[in-house]
A = this chain, B = another copy of it.
Amino acid sequence: MTKTIDITELCLRDAHQSLLATRMAMEDMVPACADIDQAGYWSVECWGGATFDACIRFLNEDPWERLRQFRTLLPNSRLQMLLRGQNLLGYRHYEDSVVDRFVDRAAVNGMDVFRIFDALNDIRNIRHSVQAVRRNGKHAQGTICYTVSPLHTTETFVEMAERLVELGCDSICLKDMAALLKPQAAFDIVKGIKTRCGEAVRIHVHTHATTGVTLVSLMKAIEAGADCVDTAISSLSLGPGHNPTESLVAMLDGTGFQATLDKDRLHRIKNHFAALRPRYQAFMSNIIGVETDIFDSQIPGGMISNMESQLKQQGAGDRLEEVFFEVPRVREDAGFPPLVTPSSQIVGTQAVFNVLMGRYKVMSSEFADLMLGYYGKTPGERDPEVLAMAAAQAHKPAILERPADLLKPEWEALQTAACALPGCDSSEEDVLTYAMFPQVAPGFFGKRAQGPLNLGRDPEAAAPASAGGAPTGAQSGDKALR
């Protein structure tokens, strides 16, 4: 009996987020949608993550309108989004009624599958979104961020899965944003979850391709019982992106597993994005091929470049090696958070501060918040001395509550502020846009009527210019690009 493995296609969201700095314009995705809709995917990830931010900051595109267009263009598909739990798509914790409204509006506008994660794997930051999704009758996918540390064992991941199932999640996602998931670990965790939670619990596996091993990890996850894996069409795959959809299909031939996708449609989707990709050269990730250093350093590539530029700004570009040694110490002091947005930036910046100014002599307010529990609970014990220093420097106490429990109802204030902005249409969607990006939304509302920008450039026209991302088109003065 051949088991059919479901596939989630990432080309409309994470693939261009990972490879092209989330810059792909909606109009460049539209022509591929008919084939994507009919190719036989289990779901199509097309919204959330950084796309919302990129839409209003760079593309002058209404992200809600983008969602509605996808709903129209992909009538037979499950639309899927990535949601940062209590952070929604923004960078702070929101009070529960804001979470409710966000999920409601996403569902009403067409979202089907909500993949919900928290950077610290603090399940309390996931719970309310899951409940909101279930209340809307949509698919709530509870997500485990995979990371490597002395505290993260197969058992801890299996336990987290168990708790997500108890929350009422419709499926579990094992999410490996840094391509750290090796084949045996993938097998053990998936097997562990199936054994503990029952074969009927759906498991999805999300990996990136950066380290070159994760297609093997997907094979092992499938052998262990995974039900669905995430891939991106080959012309938008690999490097810091994902494993190629067509390779996944070919990999399964004869194995007792199969992916029943329409090859002709895959071929057309591939050709569409292959032709398009060079237009986004200016935004393309520098990483091509594979990068396995992260297995030893545990420091994701994006985090390294951040720290490098911070050091250079301080005239200390030669001290990166010291920072590399400091990162694991800071991570340990903070109780081994997974290194994923935003914890990777917070830990990295503090490591830079420690090297330049002495250990914890100066603490970023974000790092103090992380130590004091304002992002949630980190997996391990936090260092008591560093915790005390954080409380002293931030002039506030450590908390044990769920961070959102400290927030007062905020919807009305958000609504009042948003509706006062020129160009705001007073819809709940606009209020939510403002709530998540209060700095960016006013500018976006003001020029929304000018219509979307397409930052893609004809590669031949782009060739003589110097590197950089100057947009083409009538609205090339868009200051948000800077």
Query: What residues of chain A have their CB less than 8 Å away from a CB belonging to chain B?
Result: 182-185, 188, 211-213, 215-216, 219, 234-235, 237-238, 243-244, 246-247, 250-251, 253-255, 263, 267, 288-293, 295-296
A247 and B211 form a contact (CB under 8 A) = yes
Cα distance A235–B287 in the bound complex, in angstroms: 11
A255 and B289 form a contact (CB under 8 A) = no
- Contact partner of A290 among B183, B216, B244, B254, CB < 8 A? B244
Number of copies: 2
B211 and A250 form a contact (CB under 8 A) = yes
Residues of B within 8 A of A250 (CB): 182, 211-213, 292, 295
Residues of B within 8 A of A184 (CB): 253-255
- Contact partner of A219 among B183, B188, B212, B253, CB < 8 A? B183
- A213-B250, A213-B251, A288-B288 given. 17 additional CB < 8 A pairs? A182-B250, A182-B251, A182-B253, A183-B255, A211-B250, A212-B234, A212-B243, A212-B246, A213-B215, A216-B216, A216-B219, A219-B219, A235-B289, A237-B290, A238-B238, A244-B290, A244-B292
Q: Which residue of chain B lies nearest to A219 when distances are taken between CB atoms in the complex?
A: B216
How near does chain B come to A450, taking the closest CB pair, in angstroms? Answer: 35
Nearest 7 A/B pairs, CB to CB: A212-B247, A184-B254, A246-B292, A213-B251, A184-B255, A213-B247, A212-B244
How near does chain B come to A418, taking the closest CB pair, in angstroms? Answer: 43
Cα distance A293–B246 in the bound complex, in angstroms: 9
Known: A183-B255, A213-B215, A254-B185. A247 touches B296 (CB 8 A): no
How near does chain B come to A154, taking the closest CB pair, in angstroms? Answer: 10
Residues of B within 8 A of A238 (CB): 212, 238, 289-290
A296 and B255 form a contact (CB under 8 A) = no
A296 and B263 form a contact (CB under 8 A) = yes
How near does chain B come to A302, taking the closest CB pair, in angstroms? Answer: 19
Cα distance A244–B291 in the bound complex, in angstroms: 10
Cα distance A234–B209 in the bound complex, in angstroms: 13
Q: Which residue of chain B lies nearest to A247 when distances are taken between CB atoms in the complex?
A: B212
Cα distance A244–B295 in the bound complex, in angstroms: 14
Cα distance A291–B237 in the bound complex, in angstroms: 11
B289 and A183 form a contact (CB under 8 A) = no
Cα distance A143–B247 in the bound complex, in angstroms: 26
Known: A182-B251, A184-B255. A292 touches B216 (CB 8 A): no
Residue in A184, A235, A246, A247 with the greatest tally of chain B CB atoms within 10 Å: A247
Q: Which residue of chain B lies nearest to A241 when distances are taken between CB atoms in the complex?
A: B289
A290 and B247 form a contact (CB under 8 A) = yes
Residue in A184, A243, A292 with the greatest tally of chain B CB atoms within 10 Å: A292
Cα distance A212–B218 in the bound complex, in angstroms: 13
- Contact partner of A234 among B246, B255, B289, CB < 8 A? B289
How near does chain B come to A122, taking the closest CB pair, in angstroms? Answer: 27
Cα distance A102–B395 in the bound complex, in angstroms: 81
- Contact partner of A212 among B185, B215, B289, CB < 8 A? B215
Q: Which residue of chain B lies nearest to A209 when distances are taken between CB atoms in the complex?
A: B212
Cα distance A238–B247 in the bound complex, in angstroms: 14
11 of the cross-chain contacts (CB-CB < 8 Å) are A184-B254, A188-B254, A212-B247, A212-B250, A235-B289, A237-B290, A238-B290, A246-B292, A247-B290, A250-B292, A288-B288
How near does chain B come to A372, taking the closest CB pair, in angstroms? Answer: 36
Cα distance A211–B249 in the bound complex, in angstroms: 11
Residues of B within 8 A of A211 (CB): 247, 250
How near does chain B come to A250, taking the closest CB pair, in angstroms? Answer: 5
Cα distance A399–B11 in the bound complex, in angstroms: 55
Residues of B within 8 A of A182 (CB): 250-251, 253-254
